[in-house]
Structures are given as structure tokens and as C-alpha cells.
Amino acid sequence: MYTFRFEWNESHGVGNDILDDQHKQLIGIMNDYYFSMIQGKGDIKAKTYLEQLLAFAASHFAYEEEYLAGKGYPDLKNHKEEHDSFICSIKDFLRVASTPTISLPIDMLKFIKKWEQQHMLLTDKKYAEFISHRF
């Protein structure tokens, strides 16, 4: 069954405890919002949630990019572009959240779910694979 619920599992693992822990926290933040939404509070909590997500994602991305630079990861430029584009989208949602609409929570969840599946489960896994073969 398709669900917007977020849960960290082994398939998110990138072979580094600090990064795995940051990804777990990120998934936790995403899931908190999912629960706010199913309790009917997605609209009121949207702005606070986006601010929290933005702050945490920015610090995680900075850490991850530095880690990848240290490992000489060849695809860092593209990886960073995906991070930057996520930050831009969250800032766009934040602008919308100042005048919340009914569709905002579901649009946000759809975007974040897609990000989890495309970035966390694919793009982040690519560096994990590179590092596991190289080091």
C-alpha cells in the first residue's frame, strides 16, 4: 500500500554512522509532519515544519558535501545541485505557507516523499556504493 509515512530502514544505510544518524533524524522530521497532517493539523504546522526541515537539511547537506569532498567523490557537483534544488523548493513552500491553503500539506508531502525516494534512496546510495568499493 502506498503511504506517506516515513520510516528509516537498512535500505537507507550509507555506511557511515553519523550520516545514517542524520538521515534517521531527517526521516523523523518528515514523519512528524505526516502525523500532524493525518491529525488534521498539517495546515497550521506547515510553516514551523518547513523551518525545521530547512535548518536540519541545510546542516546535513553541508556535512554530507564536506564528507564527500574528503572522499574525492567524483559526482559531488551533481549531488550538490540536488541539495541546492531541495533547499530552493523548501523556501518556495515556505513562501506559500505564509498564506496556507488546503492543498499545501499534501503538496509538501508528495514533494518530500519523492525526495526521499529519489535522493535518499538513489542519489545518496550512489556515494555509499562508491565509498564502499574504494575504501
Applying CB under 5 A, the residues found at the interface with Fe ion are: 64, 124
Cβ closest to Fe ion, residue 64 vs residue 116: 64
* d(C-alpha 43, C-alpha 45), whole Å: 6
At 27 the three-state DSSP class reads helix
Contacts of 21 (CB under 8 A, 6+ apart): none
Minimum separation from the CB atom of position 101 to Fe ion (A): 29
Closest CA to 90 of 46, 60, 120, 123: 46
Cβ closest to Fe ion, residue 57 vs residue 104: 57
Cβ closest to Fe ion, residue 78 vs residue 103: 78
- CA dihedral of 40, 46, 52, 55, whole degrees rounded to 10: 150
* d(C-alpha 31, C-alpha 37), whole Å: 10
- CA dihedral of 89, 127, 26, 93, whole degrees rounded to 10: 0
Minimum separation from the CB atom of position 11 to Fe ion (A): 14
Cβ closest to Fe ion, residue 116 vs residue 124: 124
Minimum separation from the CB atom of position 104 to Fe ion (A): 25
Minimum separation from the CB atom of position 14 to Fe ion (A): 7
